[in-house]
Amino acid sequence: MNMQNYKKLTLISIIISTILINIVKADESMLKNKPYFTLRIDTKGARYEAKLNGIEVLRDVRNGNMLNTEVPVNQYMKSGENIISLNLFPKRDDGFNSANISLSLYVNKDEAPESEKKLLSNIVFTGAENIKGTGIESSMPAMRLDSTDKMKKSDNGDVIVHSASIAPAKIMSAAVTVSQKIELETPFPRWGYLDGDVLDFPENYNDYLSNKDLYKKNIINPLFQEYQNIYNLLASNDIDAVMDLFKERNHEYDIAYYYPEGTYDKKLRDSLAGDLKFLKLLIRDSEKAAPMMSDNKRLFKLGNVGMIYFTNDEKSTFNNYDIIFYKKDGKWIVSR
């Protein structure tokens, strides 16, 4: 073999080895091997709506109680741009001064010990520092993370974390929105609601109030009829018909949490059957149910804690069913 052919073979060997290494690294990515995403909140003195991709996950807009909790959020994650955000509302007596809140997005491998989870995004708001313009300085800085190397910081990392930002909130004057964008890949398909109709409903609450009759006619009343239909089916003990309405929701939850097809159908079916047997079925008054819409104007629900619920005679036990819809070609579909 002459020297020229030898060099060519060596170069080809190096290229193939590099490709194989990259393939192996991709297979080792935390984002490819059943990632388990969670959203954690640590708060005291803050009145807030905590969101992932514009969808409310946690809220306390009245009391500002202390809370430290973490919830799974695979069903809201998507490939590409993801955003964690906080809508923060001032208190009448001291504005934001007593507000201290942190919202964090983590990832772990499904069923791995909690100690192995890795931080992907974190926004921090310190009310006492806000007047100085430094209220979010403790948030996670912009960086890249390597999903194939335990989410370590890397200039060539495949996960892109952007700088946190703060801006006036769209929902209400005097409120602010703190957010952080993160770019990454997930193993999940494109969720159905992402291709839903964009709803003609205002982002600002005062705009809603000023045209309340119009929005009740076009959005709220028709959607309440969907809740009423589910209630009527449950009241007649027609769980099979209810499951047909939740088909997409249950299918996507099975995918999001790596369960065999039909798992979430059975979970929901068993839960409803048990509640129907032992508790009283109720539906909340539509006049008292606040409308809530995702930031992309596709997901919509009525009520803060679920329009349909079950309780015992003493009203000491409550099982709420928080049902979120989207609209596609004029038809309301249960999504979450």
In which element (H, E) is residue 224 found?
Answer: helix 221-235
The answer to whether residue 310 sits within a structural domain is: yes
Q: Which residue has the tokens 């032992």?
A: 278
Cα–Cα dist 68/100, whole Å:
12
Beta strands 35-44 and 100-109: pairing type?
Answer: antiparallel
pLDDT digits (tens, 9 = 90+) for 25-84: 545 899 999 999 999 999 999 999 999 999 999 999 989 999 999 999 999 999 999 999
Are residues 42 and 153 located together in one domain of the fold?
yes
The answer to whether residue 139 sits within a structural domain is: yes
The answer to whether residue 15 sits within a structural domain is: no
What pLDDT sits at residue 206?
93
Cα–Cα dist 184/186, whole Å:
7
Are residues 138 and 205 located together in one domain of the fold?
no
What pLDDT sits at residue 261?
98
What pLDDT sits at residue 27?
59
Are residues 264 and 183 located together in one domain of the fold?
no
Are residues 241 and 102 located together in one domain of the fold?
no
The answer to whether residue 254 sits within a structural domain is: yes
The answer to whether residue 249 sits within a structural domain is: yes
Q: What are the two backbone dihedrals, phi and then psi, of residue 119, each rounded to the nearest 5 degrees?
A: -80, 130
What domain range is 245 assigned to?
195-334
Are residues 137 and 200 located together in one domain of the fold?
no
Are residues 281 and 236 located together in one domain of the fold?
yes
Mean pLDDT, the chain, integer: 92
* Domain final residue pick, 125, 159, 187: 187
In the chain, the number of structural domains is 2
* Domain final residue pick, 163, 187, 211: 187
What pLDDT sits at residue 3?
53
CB 208 within 8 A of CB 216: no
What pLDDT sits at residue 319?
96
Are residues 206 and 168 located together in one domain of the fold?
no
**Position 20 pLDDT exceeds 50:** no
Q: State the average pLDDT over residues 181-197.
A: 98
Q: Which residue has the tokens 């099982």?
A: 319
Cα–Cα dist 212/227, whole Å:
20
Lateral strand order in the sheet of 291-293: 291-293, 299-302, 325-328, 331-334
The answer to whether residue 250 sits within a structural domain is: yes
CB 145 within 8 A of CB 161: yes
Are residues 164 and 221 located together in one domain of the fold?
no
What pLDDT sits at residue 113?
96
- List the beta bridge partners of residue 310: 281, 319
| Greater pLDDT, 22 or 148 | 148
Q: State the average pLDDT over residues 190-195.
A: 98
What pLDDT sits at residue 93?
82
Are residues 175 and 201 located together in one domain of the fold?
no
Percent of the chain having pLDDT more than 70? Answer: 92
**Position 228 pLDDT exceeds 70:** yes
Which tokens is 328 given? 């596609």
* Domain final residue pick, 187, 209, 230: 187
| Residues near 196 by beta carbon (within 8 Å), at least 6 away in sequence | 298, 299, 326, 327, 328, 333, 335
Q: State the average pLDDT over residues 93-104.
A: 94
CB 121 within 8 A of CB 180: yes
Cα–Cα dist 87/95, whole Å:
14
What pLDDT sits at residue 1?
55
Cα–Cα dist 85/123, whole Å:
8
The answer to whether residue 255 sits within a structural domain is: yes
Are residues 50 and 106 located together in one domain of the fold?
yes
> Residue 21: which pLDDT band, with cuts at 50, 70 and 90?
very low
Which of 119, 156, 115 minimizes the C-alpha distance to 22? 156
| Residues near 77 by beta carbon (within 8 Å), at least 6 away in sequence | 37, 52, 53, 186, 188, 256
pLDDT digits (tens, 9 = 90+) for 111-130: 999 999 999 999 999 999 98
**Position 24 pLDDT exceeds 60:** no
Cα–Cα dist 57/39, whole Å:
8
| Greater pLDDT, 145 or 92 | 145
pTM, rounded to two decimals:
0.89
